[in-house]
């Protein structure tokens, strides 16, 4: 098969494809739903951040980089505790091939991170479209861009990506975000790249 | 009821996106899903995308990358690492579509990135540099992927079969 034959065959096959105009309306509905869900998560995060800041100030705690806060397991009181994701400002490129396996963990600040077996909690920067909520049992659930549950709090979680310094130039991660956990090494998830 | 600028654009650009998606995916339903998901993402970023000089080209790149990403998730599912709550994976390399063309069978034998390179190069007529930009790799990688893909396609289907 030469390149010209391939080109012609592709055009023939392409011409047989039919677009469903209703897909536009469905996209608008799904987009609105995702926006609402994101807004809800964001609004829920505001009081917890304010409480965390006030609590830290009141206790006079100094939080040193490299010494992230202890994680807490889900329980009955977890339902009222909002959760939040540190998301990347832009979609990551296909440049990272590391893997982070462990347990999905929610820190005292309500930040969703991953704790590898036998290691300290690792702050995670999720791709832009990923969201978080709580299930009926009060456990945090991370959703992928398609709205599918990816992992549950205290359950197994494995992501692909790489460790980056959020303070480095060109980083898609806000180093001041509380969910960066004050660490100079954040695991940037590449899986949902352009996502 | 009046339509929004996004909807106007989507109705105009949708058929072109669906054609590309149809070349990237083995099953029409997968192609529909791919277009749908891409349109949702475009809707969410419409304020920024609408200001681009060539929004159609940008969205086409989004679609191709979305496809590569989805294929990677599917192969992870096939390897048994299913995400909790994810639907059962379908092996789209099985000849499930009876009577599909030789081209479809040949394309089904390619990896996601090789297939994307073939579609962008021979259907969308993009240069190797443009493809490299779209896929986040070097032009050299594009050339090697295209070369391997062509060799594989030649092995799978002859010109007569494609015609």
B122/A23 CB distance under 8 A = no
Looking at the fold, whether B74 and B110 belong to one and the same domain comes out as no
Looking at the fold, whether B71 and B108 belong to one and the same domain comes out as no
Q: Based on the number of CB atoms within 10 Å of its own CB, is B20 exposed (0-12), middle (13-18) or buried (19 or more)?
A: buried
Angle (nearest 5°) at CA B18 between B17 and B21: 90
| pLDDT tens, N- to C-terminus, chain B (163 residues) | 578 999 999 999 999 999 999 999 988 888 999 999 999 999 998 998 998 888 999 999 999 988 988 777 665 544 444 444 444 444 444 443 434 577 888 888 888 899 999 999 999 999 999 999 888 889 999 999 999 999 988 887 664 455 4
In a domain, B91, yes or no: no
- Among B86, B111, B137, the domain-final residue is B86
The B residues from 135 to 154 touching A (CB cutoff 8 Å) are 135-137, 150, 153-154
pLDDT tier, A81 (very low <50, low <70, confident <90, very high otherwise): low
Nearest by CB to B123, which of A5, A14, A35?
A: A14
Looking at the fold, whether B80 and B104 belong to one and the same domain comes out as no
Task: State mean pLDDT over A127-142.
Answer: 84
- Among B86, B109, B141, the domain-final residue is B86
pLDDT tens per residue, range A28-40: 998 888 887 777 7
In a domain, B11, yes or no: yes
- Return the CA Rg of chain A: 20
Nearest by CB to B7, which of A17, A24, A129?
A: A24
pLDDT at A63: 43
Task: Give the least confident one: A93-107, A141-155, B6-20.
Answer: A93-107
Looking at the fold, whether B116 and B63 belong to one and the same domain comes out as no
Looking at the fold, whether B63 and B111 belong to one and the same domain comes out as no
CA distance A45 to A111: 9
- Among B44, B62, B86, the domain-final residue is B86
The B residues from 3 to 42 touching A (CB cutoff 8 Å) are 4, 6-7, 10-11, 14-15, 17-23, 28, 31-32, 35-37, 39-42
In a domain, B92, yes or no: no
The CATH number covering residue B139 comes to 1.10.10.10
Looking at the fold, whether B105 and B154 belong to one and the same domain comes out as yes
B69/A194 CB distance under 8 A = yes
Closest chain A C-alpha to B42 CA, distance in angstroms = 9
* Chain A partners within 8 Å of B19 (Cβ): 14-15, 17, 19
Looking at the fold, whether B46 and B117 belong to one and the same domain comes out as no
Looking at the fold, whether B52 and B119 belong to one and the same domain comes out as no
Looking at the fold, whether B32 and B55 belong to one and the same domain comes out as yes
Looking at the fold, whether B144 and B75 belong to one and the same domain comes out as no
Q: Closest-CA residue in chain B for A12? A: B163
Looking at the fold, whether B112 and B68 belong to one and the same domain comes out as no
Looking at the fold, whether B57 and B115 belong to one and the same domain comes out as no
Domain range for B108: 100-163
Residue ranges in B25-111 assigned as alpha helix (H): 28-44, 46-49, 55-78, 102-108
A10/B122 CB distance under 8 A = yes
Q: Does the pLDDT of residue A68 top 50, yes or no?
A: no
């Amino acid at each position: 098969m030469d390149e010209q034959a391939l080109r012609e065959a592709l055009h023939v096959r392409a011409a047989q494809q039919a677009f469903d105009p209703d897909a536009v309306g469905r996209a608008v509905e799904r987009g609105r739903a995702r926006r609402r869900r994101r807004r809800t998560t964001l609004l829920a995060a505001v009081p917890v951040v304010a409480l965390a800041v006030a609590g830290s100030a009141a206790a006079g705690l100094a939080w040193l980089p490299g010494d992230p806060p202890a994680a807490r397991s889900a329980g009955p009181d977890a339902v009222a505790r909002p959760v939040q994701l540190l998301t990347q400002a832009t979609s990551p490129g296909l440049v990272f091939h590391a893997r982070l396996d462990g347990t999905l963990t929610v820190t005292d600040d309500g930040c969703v991170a991953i704790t590898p077996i036998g290691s300290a909690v690792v702050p995670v920067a999720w791709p832009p479209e990923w969201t978080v909520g709580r299930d009926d049992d009060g456990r945090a659930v991370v959703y992928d861009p398609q709205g599918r549950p990816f992992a549950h709090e205290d359950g197994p979680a494995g992501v692909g990506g790489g460790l980056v310094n959020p303070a480095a130039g060109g980083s898609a991660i806000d180093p001041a975000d509380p969910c960066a956990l004050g660490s100079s090494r954040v695991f940037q998830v590449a899986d949902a790249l352009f996502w | 009821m009046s339509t929004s600028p996004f909807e106007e654009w989507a109705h105009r650009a949708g058929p072109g996106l669906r054609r590309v998606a149809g070349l990237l995916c083995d099953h029409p339903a997968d192609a529909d899903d791919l277009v749908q998901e891409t349109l949702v993402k475009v809707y969410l970023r419409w304020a920024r995308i609408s200001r681009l000089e060539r929004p159609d080209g940008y969205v086409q790149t989004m679609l191709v990358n979305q496809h590569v990403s989805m294929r990677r998730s599917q192969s992870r599912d096939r390897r048994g690492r299913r995400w909790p709550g994810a639907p059962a994976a379908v092996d789209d390399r099985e000849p499930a579509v009876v009577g599909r063309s030789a081209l479809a069978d040949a394309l089904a034998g390619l990896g996601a990135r090789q297939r994307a390179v073939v579609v962008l190069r021979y259907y969308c007529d993009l240069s190797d540099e443009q493809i490299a930009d779209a896929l986040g790799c070097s032009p050299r990688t594009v050339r090697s992927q295209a070369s391997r893909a062509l060799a594989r396609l030649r092995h799978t289907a002859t010109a007569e079969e494609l015609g």
